[in-house]
Each structure stands twice: as structure tokens, then as C-alpha cells.
Structure 1
């Protein structure tokens, strides 16, 4: 037997090759790393599966309601109502945004269309664009389930703050000539991001609602023949689609709901996976140390949390509904209440969306929108934090949503057939040659 010292001890592997202790240690470390990685990946899958299960029924319900509402809309009429720069137009822009799609990319495309057709910056870029991504039904349902009702209320009130602050900036701080240049800027998407073509579901306003407002006169650039043709076209479209709850009307609404899914499913999956990886791989202590750079409870702590929320919202590249699972990760890790809201509000300045701003409106307006939204998301988070602290409505960090496991099971069982019916109406029924109403 060969004698060796402690540090050069050897053992013989199955093949007869001698391995030193250091080599054995390195191999064992690699094996341990693989086991740990496998365990972490299992945690990621568990996080994603649990979140998906918890919010499945809410997504189906939210997209169904959104599809049904959008079956009633007239985008041209909406533009006529949003030309002014006062509170009325801001309120209408927010309301129409609330009724629209939750997809951030769809929202900025629709905003671009109504802005370039004459809607004011306050009603379009501030009110409509923000409300259509952060104040829609489905994101409220998901926040209620994962975070709790307090966050739903905070998201709504914080959204009001943000829209008001953004409208002040667009009306009083940004020169009107910049907006005119943005309207005249040629589209640089080159057809690759023609959202209006992708979205045949640009918002339409209920006719009975519109009848209560005084319409503006038609544009002088539109001939009477064109105006008549447009009116007849929309009359036929509404006659065909808006006989709710007729069978054709519901089929049309179901297809709009599936169209919503097609636009956001990838964002939702990416958001869940990113949140899952961060929850599994980033230690809680890392976030705790980051949020503890300022003494807890001080203004500096709240401001730092809101700043971190905005920055993380930008660099994580996820948007709208997909932000909520990651917001839960941040909230559980100790970010201030307002920081969660600032994170959610930052979904309109992720890099790919800012690049679309550049293509739609030019570099100057893209930078202006980025700086403005960054600022108002930061400030709104601070304001809503202190408002809820003053009202004693800030929940415990361990508080989750309001739907128990039993109710989640029942609701998922009830809403899954509805989703399957929407899939059938959208993809299977047209192949049989019946009800060929397109979304």
C-alpha cells in the first residue's frame, strides 16, 4: 500500500484511477451545486405553478369582461371626446383606458393612434395610456388575490395621483411645439410594430354612453361621402356585433377575450418566471439589506424604496399584469408599501417600450416621456405610502390575497369551462364554417 501524507491522500475510484482529496472535494462540490440548482429550479416551478393557480380564474374573468366591453366601442368617437386639455377630457381618457386592453404594448399603440388623430396629451399620453395598463379590471383582480385589497385601492388612488401629476407636466412644463412635432413624426416601426394592425380591438365606446355627450363637428378634412361611409360602416358593425347578449355578440366578445390572451400571455409567463427565479435564487437577506440602507420608517427609507421600485420596474423588463407576482416578492422582502406601487407604475418605461416611444414620437419625446413617467411614478409611490400610513391601511408584509384555497379551487373549476368555450369559439368553430365574425 502506498503511503501518502494527509494532504496527498488518495483513494481508488471504480476504474482504478487514483484521486486526491482536493479533486474529490471539487467533484463533491460540483455534485452538490447540481443538487442545489435542481432544488432551486424546483422552487421556481413551484412558485410559478402556485401563482398561476391562484390567479387563473381572475385572468379569465378579467379578459372576458374586457372582451365584452370592447365589443361596444367606437374609437373615432372617442377621439372626438378627448381633444380638450381639461379635467373632463382627463376623466374620460382615464375611463376609456380603464375599459381597454391591459397589454402595455397594445396600450401605447392605441395611445399613439388617438394622440395623432387629435386627442390632447393630457387625455391620451397621461390619462388613457396609464389607465389602460394599471387601472384595468384584470390587474386589480390579480393584485387582490396575490397582495390584498389594500393594494387594489392604493393602485387606483396612486393612479389618480400619477395621472394628475403627469397631466400637470404635459400642460405646463412641456412646450406645445414638442407635442406637435411628436404628432408629425413619421412612424419608424417599419411595419414590424404596427400595433394598430395587430390590434383589431382598438377601444370602442358604448353608443348609449356617447349619446350623453355633445359631439364635436366632423373634421373638415373628411368629405361628406367619407363621413357617411364611416358612419354606415360602424352602424353595420355595431348592428352585427353589439346585440348583447345575442349569440353572435357573445361569440364576438369571446374572440376579443382570446385576442387579449394572445397579446399578453408571453408577458405573463416571462413575468412569472423572472419572479420565480428571483424568489428562489436571491436570498431574502439581499433585499433586506438593500431596503435597510436608510432607517426604516423615515422619509429617506420611503423615498429610497420608491426609487428602487421604479428602477427595478425598469430593469426587469416586465409589464402590466405580469408585474404583480414580482411585486409580491418585493413586498415580502420588506420594500416600503409605496415602493410596491412605484414598481408597478414603472411598467410604461421599460426599455423596449421607451424604444417604441422613440419610433412613434422621436427621440426628444421618448426621453421626455421616460423622465416624466419616472418622476411621477416615484412621487406617486411616496404620496400613496403616506396616505395609507395616515389611514392605517398598510397591511402586514405577510398578508396575501383574500381568496382561500377552497374558493380558488371552486372559481378555477367554474371559469376554466368559460375559457375553453372562448378557445372553441375562436379557433374551432370558424373551421366548421359557422359564425365567422372576426375579432
Structure 2
């Protein structure tokens, strides 16, 4: 019981440290999503030219999603005519290059990790595009698209397919102050939380347990921390593999990244680990159902290699510029809550969250929330 209590205390401390930043990130994401039409996204993603991939990346950032919703949305874009590589670039950006992830990384691990995420993401997308250009055959793609038209549907795709953007003219401030604007922001805010809260809670509990129960000596040995050269080579290779078996996706893997960083994983390794939320075991099974076994295998290989390449690139670039942090002591790894600026920020943003949730329920959002909770295999979902 003492060990369980210690793990829960660490998880609770992490939660308290990042709560205000989570609310801020999801609120900003909701504002952005309320102003971008999904129809515009589809119209701009018809090929895999560099300009199109850049647009896909930018629009993916604007359409921030949890990992499951990002995967479902990419399939929706494909079914509406988007290029496969562009859809995958959109998928990567919408879960790994988003506001809330950058805020949490800066708060828990330092601004260097936020910068590394936004530098490494485009590198990963370029590597993925090159890999698909070389290895993706037309026949395999055609079969995958046929499977995409009849594959898994349900609550995840229902969440991804909802277009709640504000359809009105005027300045950003005017649209935000309008009744439709506030309603759209509140709906997206609540739906995003509903989609990822289990992953966030799971990530915090796993990180608390590992931080409390696994000694640093194990991680230092596992990540070869005593040999900086070998650690730099080993980290990007093993980082995504740890993510695959952790089952934690989206922002939920950041607390575990803190534990791994404190344990001695290389800078590039922890960045590759964070990127790997798109190849965790449940999502691998979704790829199989969406696109067939052969395409899923190709996707997993391409994603993994792109993550490793991005990790190596970050290790070399940031190491060469002297931007790799030397401090491995994360503030959230000390259990306990004190009355400081974090407390005041949490109070302020909890009030904001309460107002948005109240707006959500008063504007009739409950039926939509119930539809998100439907069976993933339902053929008559909100996505239809």
C-alpha cells in the first residue's frame, strides 16, 4: 500500500503541475479548430508535392486531435480524395505538432523539448514522404483505399468527422464573441477532453508507477546512459519501442517521457518516444482494419524509421548547437502540492474550463457526447 500511495502521489503531483497548461492548450486548440473548415482541408490535400505537404502540416496543427481521432480523420480525408502521403502528414501534425503538446513539454521538460518537437516533426514528415515515394506501390495503395471505404467506423471517426467551425464573417475577436463562436469553442473543448482523458489519466498513472517503483539505475543501464555516444545511438531506436508497449498516446505520453528523460534516455530518444504515439499497439490494430495488413505493415515500418531518423537528426542538430539540456531533474517528480503560482493558475483555468463546460451543456452538447461513447464497430455512427 505504501508503494501504491507513493505512485499515486507522484501521479497527483504531475497532474497538479500540468493542469492549467492542459486547459490552456485545449482551449487554444478549440479556438483554432472553430475557425478552420474541414472542407478546406480536403480541397488542399490532393497530391504529395512539398507545398501540399507543408499545407497538410499547417492544417494538421490547426486541427489538433488526440491520436485516435487523428488516425480516424486521416482515413476520412482519404475517402474524400486527399493524397495518402498528405493525409499521413496531416495525421502526424495534428497529434504531434499541436499547441497543447508544446505547452506541456515546455512546462514539464523545458523549452528545448518544445523546439525539438517542432523541428523534428517536419523532419519526420519529409522522411515519411521519401519512404512512401520509394516503397509505396500503386496496387497496394488501391487495395488500401478500397479497404478504407469499408473498414472500421464508429465513435473515433465520429469525433474526427465533426465540423463545428464557425460559418460567419468578421474579425477573429468578433467571431469569438458571437454566440455561435462561443458554442463551437465549448463543444470542441469538451469533445477533445472526452476523447483523450483516459489517455492522459493512464499516462499519469503509468508515469507515477514507473517513477516510484523503477529505480534510476535500471533506466541508466537500459539506455546506456554511462556512454554518451552509445546512448545517442541507442535512444532513438529504443524510444519508439517503449512507446509501442506503453499503450499511452497523445499528451498522455509526456509524463512518461519525463520519467525516461530522468532515467537517462538520450535527447533524440525522448523526442522519438513522444512521436511514437501513432504506433502504439491499439492504433496498429486500427491501421490493419482501416487499410489491410500489408499496408499497415508498410505504415508501421515507415513511421518507425521516420521517428528514428527524426530522433537522430534532433540529437545531432541540438547537440551541435549546445541546446541539449544538462539537467535531468524534473520538477514534477517530487510528490506534494504547495501553494504557489501554479495553484493560482489552476484555479483560474479551472474556472475557464467550468464556464466552457457549462456552455457546452446549455447549448445541447450532451447528445453529441453520448454519440462519441458508441461502439467502435457500429456501422450507424455519427460519422455516417
Give the structure 2 partner of residue 89 of structure 1: 52
Match of 2:110 among 148, 151, 174: 148
Normalised by the size of structure 1, how large is the TM-score? 0.77
CA contact (8 A) 2:79 2:148 kept: no
**Within 2, Cα distance between the matches of 1:135 and 1:252?**
22
CA contact (8 A) 1:107 1:132 kept: yes
Superposed counterparts of 1:291-330, under 5 Å:
291-292=223-224, 296-298=227-229, 300-330=230-260
The structural deviation recorded for 1:431 is: 9.5
The structural deviation recorded for 1:398 is: 2.5
Match of 1:238 among 160, 167, 176: 167
Give the structure 1 partner of residue 125 of structure 2: 163
Match of 1:420 among 317, 342, 354: 354
Match of 2:156 among 169, 172, 195: 195
Superposed counterparts of 1:207-226, under 5 Å:
none
Aligned-residue CA RMSD (Å): 2.4
Match of 1:342 among 263, 272, 295: 272
CA contact (8 A) 1:67 1:257 kept: yes
Deviates more, 1:409-418 or 1:320-329: 409-418
The structural deviation recorded for 1:399 is: 4.9
Deviations 1:369-406 (A, max 9, x none): 1111111111211110111110000102435479x973
**Within 1, Cα distance between the matches of 2:233 and 2:150?**
37
Structure 1 gaps, min length 5: 1-37, 205-236, 433-438
Give the structure 1 partner of residue 79 of structure 2: 116
CA contact (8 A) 1:317 1:350 kept: yes
**Within 1, Cα distance between the matches of 2:164 and 2:218?**
43
Deviations 1:336-388 (A, max 9, x none): 11110111111111111011111111111100111111111112111101111
Q: 1:419 to 1:397 in 2, by over 3 A?
A: same
Superposed counterparts of 1:260-409, under 5 Å:
260-292=192-224, 296-298=227-229, 300-400=230-330, 406-409=340-343
**Within 2, Cα distance between the matches of 1:129 and 1:198?**
14
Q: 1:244 to 1:333 in 2, by over 3 A?
A: same
The structural deviation recorded for 1:190 is: 5.2
**Within 2, Cα distance between the matches of 1:240 and 1:252?**
15
**Within 2, Cα distance between the matches of 1:100 and 1:120?**
17
**Within 1, Cα distance between the matches of 2:296 and 2:18?**
34
Relative contact order: is structure 1 or structure 2 higher (C-alpha 8 Å, sep ≥ 6)? 2
CA contact (8 A) 1:98 1:135 kept: yes
Structure 2 gaps, min length 5: 333-337, 367-381
Q: 1:431 to 1:382 in 2, by over 3 A?
A: closer
> Secondary structure at the residue paired with 2:175?
coil
Deviations 1:271-315 (A, max 9, x none): 1111111111111111111122x86121x3212111121110101
Normalised by the size of structure 2, how large is the TM-score? 0.87
